[in-house]
Structure 1
């Protein structure tokens, strides 16, 4: 009998819970429903505009002197004198005497050759005197020959008359032959004089050439600097013996510096423009530069130093790098040591690693956008209804910082310049114009960003 009351104790709470659950279910109320609202995305935009665009190509290279002079010994001998400042890095003026080689051997050679020339001139004078004497002797011998002939004719008549013997006639005939031989000897001596004179004159010319060589060798004992420059290398010391062809020193010029930079072909294409065909083989360099409209600037950014030098496009390198598909462009800078300010603007020294900016002819009335506003050939437009439009565009020119739009964009349209992830066509936008991006874009398009 005690088990039944326990069952009711268990069932009563269960029945009460079920009854409460049924009551709550029958009397429940619907929760209030909120109306969904589309939240706009805040984006930065710029208003599309047209401006003048200066296409540019950039590259990096190492500065080298535009002119380098290497002194090579043209004579042999011992170094008797050396410039006290002939040391690496020293700057020397044009015409400075750098080295002097012992000139004694070459002075002796000059003296010896001059003596030989005087001896040859004396021989020529002697030959002229001998010619005059030979001509006089020939005249005398010819007169004697005429007299001998007359005497022979007289004796022939006397032999016929029987006044003289036959032996006297024979003696006269032998005398005639002797006199003829004497005349012939004088004539032969005269005939040899022109060839003897020609031989002496040739000998004199050879001695004159040897004298010129000796004087040149004497002049080459002095090594002078042909232009103002900075010493790059010194290979000899005082009292050292040098041989012909031995390198003595090397000096770099101060008036001109060069920088060769490799630039990709596609970048070169953006800055090289001409109105028609260009004859690069026969067009003077200055006229070619004007025709192409190229300008250049060399910039240094190192160790907190920002400096720039105006340059000019000089020439293209002779080869194209097949691996990097770049072509070498050589830019010249006049007076690289001018305007030096210690700690602010250093000289354009050999070996400095610099950036070269090539600028082409300006292109007027072009639509430009930041590179960051391009998304695989498409741009994001904030439409008049405040919604996103994803639009493909055609590129006319692509630069490292900006792009020139050829088609697909109109001036005045709002272009999104901030990152928009995800970008969904038709999404609601809240726009805010970015004046800083616009100002920077204008400077970049005009090429003003290159200025230090």
Structure 2
């Protein structure tokens, strides 16, 4: 009897277990079918709106400035060299590195002993030549006197011959007397010829003496110039550089002792590209005398001066490109030859151009402009100049348009943006600020399903517990702030 009772109880428990299993399986199947047949969960998608900084496109007349680097140089730089060799016996106090000297000032003197001796010898030779010239002139006078006496003697002999011939014709004289008279005339004529030759020799002696005197005069002048070359003077006002000698030192002929630089007549040399050079030409193709501004940054203090482009190099050096230009400076206090400076050149005036930040222009040469519906549009423009961090562009039908001042890879055509202009975020006045603070934030009344989705999203999120508690308390209110709802739904849809 006990066995039968236990058997029935076991059968009953087994049946009950089987029924529970069937019920559980049916429940699972119904839940799966309900899940599969339910509509998919969908969240509203919102378009992302990006805030961008914009600037109005405003045209104006701009004078572009071309900035290059250049080097200062002096228009008058002279190498001072020793004209003669020798020992330096005297030197001016200003003859030192950086010393300022005036025109005509004696800089140094080389030992003049040899030059003075050479001058004395030349003057002695000149005195000898002068004495020889005086002696030759006296000899000429004597030769001319002797010639006159010989001619007079010859005339008397001819007269005596005429008398003897007359006597012989009348039969009074003899033939021997006539022959003797003829011989005397011939001898007198020979004496005249000899004296003429003496006069010619005296004249030749004078010519030779005059030539010798001229040669000695040249020697004296050379000796005087040689003596003058022992003194080195400043040819113009300037500053000394590269002084390489000291008093008591010895120099050779043509040795470089220093450089004389005129610091008042400065110019700057700078190189520009061929395209930049073309913009500096006038209508006739000649280089304009464009004004330039030269600046030198010295320990945070800028030295600035002005000038004018004066000339250009005749050719392009090997291995170089562009053009080498020179500008004459007006007044350049504080500048020195060799300074590395910044040169700013005024280019011709450009009209109807807009100055924008360089970040507003893309690599494709286009601007992003805010169009209808606050969506971005690509507009191609012409790049005219780059001015530091700005660009000068020219476009069609862009007057008053809002241009994105800072482009990024996130921005492109068709994207909706929230344009922010400079000054738009200025703090309002006190009354407006108090009114804005007193005005309650906008709210929205949620439907049960929408509220349940938001509560579930907050509960399942990984945000801090304090934030969860605060948001859940806000969602339990009848009217929930619109800002909170929009922020949560944007995260749900992302």
TM-score range, shorter chain: 0.7 to 0.9
- Relative distance call for 1:170 and 1:195 in structure 2 (3 A) is same
How far off is 1:294 after superposition? 1.4
1:259–1:332 CA contact under 8 A, matched in 2: yes
CA shift digits 1:264-305 (9 cap, x unpaired):
2223333x1413343xxxxxxxxx6xxx25121222235434
TM-score scaled to structure 1, two decimals?
0.79
Pick the aligned partner of 2:302 from 296, 306, 311. Answer: 306
Aligned to 2:339: 352
Aligned to 1:201: 210
1:273–1:360 CA contact under 8 A, matched in 2: no
Alignment of 1:297 with 2:284, yes or no, is no
Aligned to 1:394: 382
**What is the alpha-carbon distance in structure 2 between the residues aligned to residue 106 and residue 321 of structure 1?**
46
Greater RCO, CA 8 A, separation 6+: 1
Alignment of 1:255 with 2:243, yes or no, is no
Q: How does 1:274-285 map to 2 (within 5 A)?
A: 274-278=282-286
Secondary structure at the aligned position of 1:57 is classed as: strand
More strand by share: 1
Pick the aligned partner of 1:150 from 142, 159, 167. Answer: 159
Aligned to 1:281: none
**Which residues of structure 2 form unaligned runs of 5+?**
1-6, 425-494
**What is the alpha-carbon distance in structure 1 between the residues aligned to residue 58 and residue 283 of structure 2?**
27
Aligned to 1:119: 128
1:58–1:263 CA contact under 8 A, matched in 2: no
Aligned to 1:101: 110
- Relative distance call for 1:44 and 1:154 in structure 2 (3 A) is same
Secondary structure at the aligned position of 2:374 is classed as: coil
Greater C-alpha radius of gyration: 2
- Relative distance call for 1:324 and 1:241 in structure 2 (3 A) is closer
**Which residues of structure 1 form unaligned runs of 5+?**
279-287, 339-346, 437-452
Aligned to 2:417: 429
- Relative distance call for 1:323 and 1:58 in structure 2 (3 A) is farther
Aligned to 1:450: none
- Relative distance call for 1:401 and 1:160 in structure 2 (3 A) is same
**What is the alpha-carbon distance in structure 1 between the residues aligned to residue 377 and residue 194 of structure 2?**
122
Q: How does 1:211-250 map to 2 (within 5 A)?
A: 211-250=220-259
Alignment of 1:379 with 2:367, yes or no, is yes
**What is the alpha-carbon distance in structure 1 between the residues aligned to residue 317 and residue 386 of structure 2?**
22
Alignment of 1:333 with 2:329, yes or no, is yes
How far off is 1:417 after superposition? 0.6
Secondary structure at the aligned position of 2:253 is classed as: coil
Aligned residues: 414
- Relative distance call for 1:8 and 1:64 in structure 2 (3 A) is farther
Alignment of 1:370 with 2:378, yes or no, is no
**What is the alpha-carbon distance in structure 2 between the residues aligned to residue 311 and residue 56 of structure 1?**
14
How far off is 1:261 after superposition? 2.5
CA shift digits 1:58-108 (9 cap, x unpaired):
222333333221112222222111223423233333333221112232233
Secondary structure at the aligned position of 1:385 is classed as: helix
Pick the aligned partner of 1:60 from 66, 69, 78. Answer: 69
Secondary structure at the aligned position of 2:138 is classed as: helix
Aligned to 2:97: 88
Aligned to 1:134: 143
1:367–1:411 CA contact under 8 A, matched in 2: no
Secondary structure at the aligned position of 2:104 is classed as: coil
**What is the alpha-carbon distance in structure 1 between the residues aligned to residue 159 and residue 31 of structure 2?**
190
Aligned to 1:411: 399
How far off is 1:378 after superposition? 1.0
**What is the alpha-carbon distance in structure 2 between the residues aligned to residue 296 and residue 186 of structure 1?**
85
**What is the alpha-carbon distance in structure 1 between the residues aligned to residue 25 and residue 313 of structure 2?**
96
Aligned to 1:445: none
- Relative distance call for 1:156 and 1:16 in structure 2 (3 A) is same
**What is the alpha-carbon distance in structure 2 between the residues aligned to residue 144 and residue 190 of structure 1?**
17
Aligned to 1:284: none
1:387–1:426 CA contact under 8 A, matched in 2: yes
**What is the alpha-carbon distance in structure 2 between the residues aligned to residue 77 and residue 432 of structure 1?**
82
How far off is 1:42 after superposition? 1.2
Secondary structure at the aligned position of 1:108 is classed as: helix
Aligned to 2:194: 185
How far off is 1:158 after superposition? 5.7
TM-score scaled to structure 2, two decimals?
0.73
